[in-house]
Amino acid sequence: MMSEDVKYHIILLPRADYWDWVNAVREYAIHFGVSVTPRPENAIRFHRPSQVISVVNLPGGYPAYGDVVRWLQAQAPEVPLDVLEVTTPSALRDLLRGRIAVGLRFGSEAAPEEEPSSPEPETDFRLRWPTDYPIITQGFGENPDVYRRWGLPGHEGVDIRAPLNANVYACADGVVYRVHDGTGNHPYGVHIRIQHADGYRTIYAHLNRALVHSGQTVRAGDLIGLANSTGNSTGHHLHLTLKKEGATAAGLTTYPRDIIDPTPFLVSPDELPAPPSDTWPYDHVLVGLHGRADGPMQEPDWGVVETARVEALKLSSSAAPEDVARAWRINSDMFIMVRLFADFRNRVVRAADFARWVEPDMQRFYDQGVRYYEVHNEPNLTPEGYGTSWRDGRGFGEWFVEVMGLLKAKFPEARFGWPGLSPGPATPGMRSDEEAFLESASDFIEHADWIGCHCYWQNRADMFSLEGGLRYQLYRELWPRKLLFITEFSNTSPSVDLQTKGDEYVEYYRHLRNQSGIGAAFAFVVSASANFPYEVWRREDGQPTPIAGLVGARSF
């Protein structure tokens, strides 16, 4: 039986439905002072090797890691694991309440003869989500090596996404007891401190501006400030710290100054808001198809478009402007998007050069009435400029904003999109890590009129995983008020037959149909002169694959 004398304890939860899992562990985490995370790497780094990791061993719960218990054992064999064999948040809640009932962090060797009672939570104190962006960018207790220099066991709060001048709200009713203007090089920069009932206090750090004053009474949800990156901070976000009077002296936390983990107290964020309604005239996600991969559409391609009852078509800027009129003859309400494209291989492409090169093609499409343009494609890949034209996401972000400004001056009604990235982790010499690229580009993405996302998978399980077909959910969480397009999706596996792929695509379109905040999903690809033999919807001999007919026979 595992020792109950544990100083550092963290629970690893599945990333899908994360806040349902957090709600399930809330009472237990508060009772025993446990931290939580959805990231296996962070669980290992928490206080290695002095921590215990409790892990929800949900089959398929960690798609990128396979068997997560074996992965943890292989990566950190010296760290004890407390494996929780449950399949639902409610089952986890019941298991942990049983542990609370017997007063043992890891339970007893023998199960109690009677069902454990369900104790009431030790506190009714809750934290309203303090921004409009429901994603934590750095959890409590993470990066202990970084924070040890300040005498802290790890990150002393949670960092929550909040772009420049994003609204910051009070987490609970209380009284403002301090507003710091950021002078004196305070590590929190401009920040607000609020006293709440039962000895709880919250700190809201790295603000651009405080909108309250000391002594002011606030209610949960009141606007109290605007976000920035003042103080000891890299990138715009909100840092939230929670304190409980007497927690350090009572041994309820390993942190000084009564700091405790706010995560179990946070109320899961509300449903993601939809982008402003005036940006998108349709009330559902359109069934889209990517046009020919290289060059203008060919005659057999139009048969595929008609058979599949395509509602949105994405063209390359190398396509013919006449393709727009042809598409509208098939469906007068068809939405058209154009990707602005140039060859980046083995050369540095400046923003001004790119804008000058694509301007003539864009003019022809603009004159046809096309207004939505994706600026470039997968810029985190080496052949698309990564490592030569820009070094990271921030470098591409600067490039993107400059291109957008140059073209917006000539085409004022155009709506420019941040391009879809190549999804996945870093591949040396080929790809920059998608999430790292996004994080460093975050401030520049705010300037985009809309955002593109690529979703790929190789089997049906991946189609409904966050690393595969549901990748768009990460983007919706990061930018909930931006219109999102899935500018490419497909099953890329050479071993999956086209009939199965067609069935998957219909299921995927159906899943997306009423998703909020998404304009269209473009399957890749109608045809190509070379490459992509396992993704094309018609062959080079003009014969269609089964995909078009299956998509066209859909019931929606």
Residues near 460 by Cβ (< 8 Å), separated by ≥ 6? 504
Residue 395: which of 336, 339, 436 has the closest Cα? 436
pLDDT score for 41: 86
| Tokens describing residue 168 | 């910051």
Cα–Cα dist 288/269, whole Å: 31
Beta strands in 182-320 (DSSP E): 190-195, 200-210, 217-218, 223-227, 237-244, 259-260, 286-290, 312-316
Q: Tell me the longest C-alpha to C-alpha distance in the chain.
A: 78
pLDDT score for 138: 86
pLDDT score for 280: 82
CB distance 158 to 139 below 8 Å: yes
Cα–Cα dist 178/213, whole Å: 8
CB distance 144 to 154 below 8 Å: yes
pTM, two decimals, is 0.73
Provide the residue type at 174 as one letter. G
pLDDT score for 274: 61
Cα–Cα dist 552/493, whole Å: 22
Q: Give φ, ψ of 265 to 5 degrees.
A: -90, -15
Residue 269: which of 172, 157, 129, 138 has the closest Cα? 129
Cα–Cα dist 130/264, whole Å: 14
pLDDT tens digits in sequence order for the chain, 556 residues long: 566 667 789 999 998 888 889 989 999 998 888 889 888 988 888 877 888 999 999 988 887 788 999 999 999 999 999 999 999 999 999 999 999 998 899 875 444 444 333 334 455 799 999 998 888 888 898 887 788 788 888 899 999 989 888 999 999 999 999 999 988 889 999 999 999 999 999 999 999 999 999 999 999 999 999 999 999 887 789 999 999 999 888 888 888 999 999 998 998 776 556 666 556 888 899 999 999 998 899 999 999 999 999 999 999 998 998 999 999 999 999 999 999 999 998 899 999 999 999 999 999 999 999 999 999 999 999 999 999 999 999 999 999 999 999 999 999 999 999 999 999 999 999 999 999 999 899 889 999 999 999 999 999 989 988 889 999 988 988 888 899 999 999 999 999 999 999 999 999 999 999 998 999 999 999 999 888 999 999 999 999 999 999 999 999 9
Cα–Cα dist 485/260, whole Å: 39
> Per the omega criterion (within 30 degrees of 0), is the bond before 112 cis?
no
Q: Give φ, ψ of 110 to 5 degrees.
A: -105, 140
Q: Give φ, ψ of 493 to 5 degrees.
A: -70, 130
Buried/exposed code over 396-413 (b: 16+ C-beta within 10 A; e: otherwise): bbebbbbbbebbeeebee
pLDDT score for 123: 57
Alpha helices, DSSP H, located in 76-210: 89-102, 144-147
| Tokens describing residue 106 | 């890891």
Cα–Cα dist 475/387, whole Å: 24
pLDDT score for 152: 86
CB distance 401 to 393 below 8 Å: no
| Tokens describing residue 429 | 């010499």
